């Protein structure tokens, strides 16, 4: 075999003999305990009729306020091949007693048939970005046979939906798991049954429901309950909750890999310097190995994220070189760090979209990164941080120092909870420091757009938009990025 033939040759694997269709009617009926109206094959699984594409299987789920059966016409008009329903219809279908339960059963069948290495990701901050980075790394090295949960499908519906979508040929499956209350990850991890469990960061997100960071750490550690025998936990070595997480893993006989700057970290940061593209050049130690790679995403939090990614890839038996290439090419996700160059008088301004989520830790991290971003003026649009309960006023007020340290020139504060920060910025103490930050306090995204328009963007400005998704700051991003060049 000559060199060209060697390059073009792909070794055959047992899974290459598996069906290329996602599901057929017989398999769906067997998995769900339903009855098929006929023979058909599907290429995808969907629960929202608006997102249905040609060849999809549509689950007509029932919720507290809606019933998917009302949208069957729309689903089939958009190209659905079949639907899972609880009463007979004129289109191809699987008839079941309970469509919600049927989705869980199909998810269980998908997990059972998969020979893939499964990775579960949770954490208070960064889990979606880390999930996407792990996927990019393993997708690159597995001939396109990695699968992951899309968007933030990480709850009691999103996780089984993501599992049901996993092809039988998958080599890797990466699933995000989120929670608002104790016990929720426990339910999700027994469905996912990961071989590798990654916890990104512990921070006071959802502290309203859980009461303390220790309780949050315990809730995140529930991911270990579903870990397969011989599995690995990848956890933050720099966290003050490291020993708590480590003990929870060891109690279940799980191998632990810590990541971070700490001396006891298994994936240990040796050095990180700014890169020309705004990212970082990272050197890390992984046992006797030395890893040198670049991270396209800016910020110290992404340096830490990259260590978690490397740990997960190592634990999954993946290619660390491919992981380094993936990290060097990753761009920001919509609502989670995407950067836009928009038109402004005199040239262009930078618009940073962090509108999907916010908690005290992520606010501080992104404000710190804004402070390191070259700009003639730094502007923020900050939305309220939700689910902080009695801690809300304090956490919002405490953002004043990160704003000062980031050298912010103008702040637009959105939502009732931001009144605490507005009071802090307008206080006599702040003015006495000679660093008072001009600000506008707005009720909603419409007022925020008007305030930013009135302030006026100029060439060289850097604008950060960040808040909890329910605040609706995506409207602000959409309005200004319509000028993207």
pLDDT over 60 at 174, yes or no:
yes
User: Does residue 320 lie in a domain region?
Assistant: yes
In this structure, the answer to whether residues 82 and 142 fall within a common structural domain is: no
Q: Residue 11 has what pLDDT?
A: 57
Print the domain residue range for 197: 114-329
- Averaged pLDDT for residues 103-121: 97
Are residues 133 and 257 located together in one domain of the fold? yes
How far apart CA 416 and CA 220 sit, in angstroms, is 29
User: In the predicted model, is pLDDT for residue 432 greater than 90?
Assistant: no
C-alpha to C-alpha distance for 99 and 87, rounded to whole angstroms: 10
Average pLDDT over residues 291-310: 94
Q: How far is CA 350 from CA 173, 300, 344, 448, 456, in A?
A: 35, 20, 9, 17, 13
For residue 13, what pLDDT is reported? 57
Q: Are residues 120 and 94 in the same domain?
A: no
Q: What is the pTM of this model?
A: 0.83
Residue 208 has pLDDT above 80, yes or no: no
Query: Tell me, what's the pLDDT at 290?
Result: 94
pLDDT digits (tens, 9 = 90+) for 49-106: 999 999 999 999 999 889 999 999 999 999 999 999 999 999 999 999 999 999 999 9
- Domain assignment of residue 144, yes or no: yes
Lowest mean pLDDT among 118-127, 342-351, 423-432, 435-444: 423-432
What integer is the mean pLDDT of 125-148?
Answer: 94
pLDDT at 210: 79
Mean of pLDDT over the chain: 92
Q: 410: how many CB neighbours lie within 10 A of its CB?
A: 19
For range 187-195, the mean pLDDT: 97
For position 57, which CATH number holds?
Answer: 3.40.1390.10
One domain, residues 169 and 235: yes
Q: Would residue 422 count as lying in a domain?
A: yes
Say if strands 44-46 and 56-59 run parallel, antiparallel, or are unpaired: parallel
How many domains does the chain contain in total? 3
pLDDT at residue 249, as a whole number: 97
378 and 291 part of one domain? no
CA neighbor of 476 nearest in space, from 450, 444, 449, 456: 449
- Which range (5-9, 212-216, 426-430) has the least confidence? 5-9
Question: Is the pLDDT reported for residue 410 higher than 70?
Answer: yes
Same domain assignment for residues 124 and 28: no
Q: Is the pLDDT of residue 45 over 60?
A: yes
Q: Residue written as tokens 């990290």? A: 327
- Report the alpha-carbon distance of residue 231 to residue 284 in Å, rounded: 23
Q: Which one of 311, 329, 347 terminates a domain?
A: 329
Q: Indicate which CATH number applies to the domain containing 344.
A: 3.90.190.20
User: CA 59, CA 46: separation in Å to the nearest integer?
Assistant: 6
Q: Looking at residue 205, what is its pLDDT?
A: 73
Nearest 10 degrees: Cα torsion 420, 425, 428, 431: 170
Structure tokens at 154: 């990480």
The CATH number of residue 320's host domain is 3.40.1190.10
Answer yes or no: do 293 and 394 share one domain: no
* Structural domain ending residue among the three candidates 100, 131, 160: 100
pLDDT in tens, 150-170: 877 899 999 999 999 999 999
Examine residue 206 and state whether it is found in any structural domain, yes or no: yes
**Same domain for 342 and 325:** no
> In the listed set 281, 298, 329, which residue is the last one of a domain according to the structure?
329
**Residue 354 pLDDT exceeds 50:** yes
Do 152 and 298 fall within a single domain?
Answer: yes
- Tell me, yes or no, whether 384 lies in a domain: yes
Do both 322 and 357 map to the same domain? no
Residue 191 has pLDDT above 50, yes or no: yes
Same domain, 92 and 120: no
Report phi then psi at 222, rounded to 5.
Answer: -60, -20
What was the pLDDT predicted at 294?
95
Residue 9, domain member (yes or no): no
What pLDDT, on a 0 to 100 scale, did the predictor assign at position 7? 45
Q: Which pLDDT does position 113 carry in this prediction?
A: 96
> pLDDT at residue 28 above 70?
yes
């Amino acid at each position: 075999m000559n060199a060209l033939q060697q390059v073009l040759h792909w070794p055959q694997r047992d899974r290459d003999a598996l069906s290329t269709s996602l599901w057929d009617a017989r398999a769906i009926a067997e998995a769900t305990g339903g009855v098929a109206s006929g023979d058909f094959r599907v290429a995808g699984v969907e629960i929202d009729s608006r997102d249905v594409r040609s060849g999809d299987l549509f689950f007509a789920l029932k919720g507290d306020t809606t019933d998917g059966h009302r949208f069957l016409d729309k689903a089939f008009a958009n190209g659905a091949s079949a639907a899972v329903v609880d009463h007979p219809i004129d289109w191809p279908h699987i008839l079941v007693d309970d469509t919600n339960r049927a989705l869980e059963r199909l998810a269980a069948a998908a997990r059972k048939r998969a020979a893939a290495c499964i990775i579960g990701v949770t954490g208070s901050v960064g889990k979606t970005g880390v999930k996407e980075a792990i996927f990019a790394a393993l997708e690159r090295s597995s001939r396109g046979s990695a699968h992951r949960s899309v968007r933030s499908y990480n709850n009691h519906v999103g996780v089984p939906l993501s599992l049901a979508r996993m092809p039988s040929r998958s080599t890797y499956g990466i699933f995000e798991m989120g929670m608002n209350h104790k016990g929720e990850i426990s339910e999700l991890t027994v469905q996912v049954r990961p071989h590798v469990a990654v916890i990104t960061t512990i921070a006071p997100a959802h502290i309203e429901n859980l009461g303390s960071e220790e309780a949050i750490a315990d809730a995140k550690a529930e991911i270990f309950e579903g870990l397969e025998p011989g599995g690995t936990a990848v956890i933050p070595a720099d966290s003050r909750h490291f020993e708590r997480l480590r003990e929870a893993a060891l109690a279940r006989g799980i191998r632990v890999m810590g990541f971070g700057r700490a001396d006891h970290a298994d994936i240990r940061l040796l050095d990180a310097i700014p890169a020309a593209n705004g990212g970082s050049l990272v050197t890390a130690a992984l046992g006797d190995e030395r890893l040198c790679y670049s991270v396209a995403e800016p910020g110290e939090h992404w340096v830490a994220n990259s260590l978690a990614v490397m740990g997960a890839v190592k634990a999954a038996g993946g290619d660390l070189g491919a992981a380094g290439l993936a990290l060097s090419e990753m761009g920001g996700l919509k609502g989670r760090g995407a950067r836009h160059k928009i038109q402004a008088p005199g040239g262009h301004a930078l618009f940073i979209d962090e509108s999907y989520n916010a908690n005290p830790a992520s606010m501080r991290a992104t404000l710190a990164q804004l402070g390191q971003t070259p700009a003639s003026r730094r502007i923020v649009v900050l939305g309220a941080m939700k689910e902080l309960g009695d801690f809300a006023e304090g956490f919002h007020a405490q953002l004043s120092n990160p704003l000062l340290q980031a050298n912010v020139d103008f702040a637009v504060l959105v939502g009732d909870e931001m009144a605490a920060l507005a009071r802090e910025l307008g206080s006599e103490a702040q003015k006495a420091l000679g660093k008072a930050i001009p600000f506008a306090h707005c009720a909603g995204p419409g007022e925020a757009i008007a305030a930013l328009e009135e302030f006026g963007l100029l060439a060289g400005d850097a604008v950060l938009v960040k808040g909890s998704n329910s605040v609706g700051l995506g409207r602000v991003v959409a309005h200004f990025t319509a000028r993207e060049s």
